[in-house]
Chain A
Amino acid sequence: YQRRVRGQSSLFYTLIGLDALSNNNLAVPTSLSVAGGSVISGDGSNFQVALVNPLGEQVTGSEASIQSAVVPATGAALFKTGPMEGGDGDFFVSPVPLPDRGVYSVGVTGSVPAGFVAPDPAKFKVKVVLPVTVEGANLKIVDVDDNRAMMTSDLSGGAAVAKVDLSSRLTLDFNIADSAGKVALHQVFVRFTNTKTQQTVYFVAQADLNKRYSLDVNFRTSAVKSFGGVAGEYSVDLILGDATLASAVVTNIATLTLDLPESKEVVTVPDKAAKPEITHVFRQPEKRPPQAISSLFTGLVLLPALIVLGVWMKLGANLSGFSFSLSGLGFHLGLLSVLGIYVHFFLGLIDMFATIKWLAIVSLFTFLTGNRLLASIAAKRKEKK
């Protein structure tokens, strides 16, 4: 069904219909909908629900109540079950003190006075977003071979500055916590941005079972693999993102200068000049022999036919036994017709379907006459014996 109407006449008729539904004396349908946002942050905002008729007007004398308000997985409750505060179609409810972050499924039912149709029970998704802080951070630059810590920082004094090269390892571990304790978020990234070329490299910080995040970047292996061998100054940012955060948190935690013996700085300047024109080279026809040779060989191939005719005549082949009977004539005529059909086909005058069709007819005739003829010859031969 269409959720929108297009055009003035459609709008007019839609409004007439909604008005008829809303202002009749028999039964007015009602529905529950979220008024205001469905995001609750920690600042004490309420969850508002409106009970309205089709035109969006609130229904006086109606009531609404919360049936359930839990996170489906953990069962933590956001609102107390029971009637909502407010009245006359405008209801609100306050969250329990200190709700946990998460996405809650809230079931609401409403009751209406006579003359209205009770709304269907509604299920709304309400999200609780709470701010987080990074705690207990420990950033270290360590020598790869002897694990000597060359720089440590707890990020409390702002971004750390350090020099790294192929013998360095960067380790970072930290907690993420909100007012309720340690949390695990969906997106915890550490981004290295080359200040000159703006190339970025992302690493994912992994959490262990105690929800402590850690990251280990070994420059000996990752300098080429991840950084592409590009030396220079990199700014390191910690990025936190999640559905239960109001917005992503990006903090600059360090500025590193990566020294490499050979830096592969890729400076690509797109070539905007026109590329050379491509001229299509058509397929050259195959080399054919000169016409003289072809004609010569055509003659050569036909020559043995004449020779064999001569040899046959010399051997004494003759047409004296030719029977001019019906079957005799018919057989030879049939054979010549078959040859004729073949010649037509070879010249392209008829296609294979027509050839087969004609061949079927003529070959049947040829077979019958040939059978007759050869049988009579065989009989004559047996008689002579």
Chain B
Amino acid sequence: MSSPSICEVGSRLIQEYTTKTPQKLKLIDAYLGYIMVTGIIQFVYCCLVGTFPFNSFLSGFISTVASFVLGVCLRIQVNPANNIVFKDISVERAFADFIFAHGVLHLVVLNFIG
């Protein structure tokens, strides 16, 4: 059997994603996409106009990066397919961790953004 081409793989991936992924995970994926786009826009802006003030750029960019990471953690922990690994951590607990970490993150970012 000939190896599938990129287009076939891609369309199959999209189809599987839209049908098989639970709604909750899709919501989180949308959120992750939003965070990533925001980070990219900030980075492009910094490349265009320079790094002054550097602390603001750093805090904004790292805020997006950290939010992305926390979102990924939430997604992993909430994914029913990973239930075996994360038996002890309920969905609610994962969400509470997410909220708490975000609280700390935003405090630090607001302090650093200057």
User: Which residues of A does B touch, CB under 8 Å?
Assistant: 286-289, 293-294, 297, 300-301, 304-305, 307-308, 311-312, 315-317, 335, 338, 342, 345-346, 352, 355, 359, 363, 370-371, 374-375, 377-378, 381
Contacts and interface: CB of A to CB of B under 8 A. Distances in A.
A355 B107 contact: yes
A285 to B, nearest CB: 9
Nearest to A285: B52
Contacts, number: 72
B6 interface: no
Main secondary structure of the interface of B (DSSP, over half): helix
B52 A304 contact: no
Interface string B56-83: 0000000000000000000000000000
A377 B94 CA distance: 13
The 7 A-B residue pairs whose C-beta atoms are closest, nearest first, are: A308-B34, A374-B92, A289-B49, A286-B52, A311-B30, A297-B45, A304-B37
A335 B102 CA distance: 11
Given A308-B33, A316-B23, A346 B113 contact: yes
Interface in B21-54: 23, 26-27, 30-31, 33-34, 37-38, 41-42, 45, 48-50, 52-53
Given A301-B38, A317-B27, A345-B111, 19 more contacts: A293-B45, A293-B48, A294-B49, A297-B41, A300-B45, A301-B41, A301-B45, A304-B37, A308-B30, A311-B33, A312-B27, A312-B31, A335-B99, A338-B103, A342-B110, A370-B99, A371-B96, A378-B91, A378-B92
A346 B45 CA distance: 22
Contacts of A317: 23, 27
B38 A378 contact: no
19 contacts: A286-B53, A288-B52, A289-B48, A293-B45, A293-B49, A301-B41, A305-B34, A307-B34, A307-B37, A308-B31, A308-B33, A308-B34, A312-B27, A312-B30, A312-B31, A315-B23, A363-B103, A370-B99, A378-B92
Contacts of B41: 297, 300-301, 304
Contacts of A338: 103
Contacts of B99: 335, 370
A355 B53 CA distance: 24
B79 to A, nearest CB: 16
B49 to A, nearest CB: 4
A315 B49 CA distance: 37
Contacts of B91: 378, 381
A293 B38 CA distance: 16
Contacts of B45: 293, 297, 300-301
Contacts of B55: none
A374 B52 contact: no
A322 to B, nearest CB: 15
B56 to A, nearest CB: 12
A196 B94 CA distance: 93
A381 B106 CA distance: 31
Contacts of A345: 110-111
A373 to B, nearest CB: 9
A45 B63 CA distance: 96
Contacts of B34: 304-305, 307-308, 311
B95 A352 contact: no
A274 B99 CA distance: 69
Contacts of A363: 103
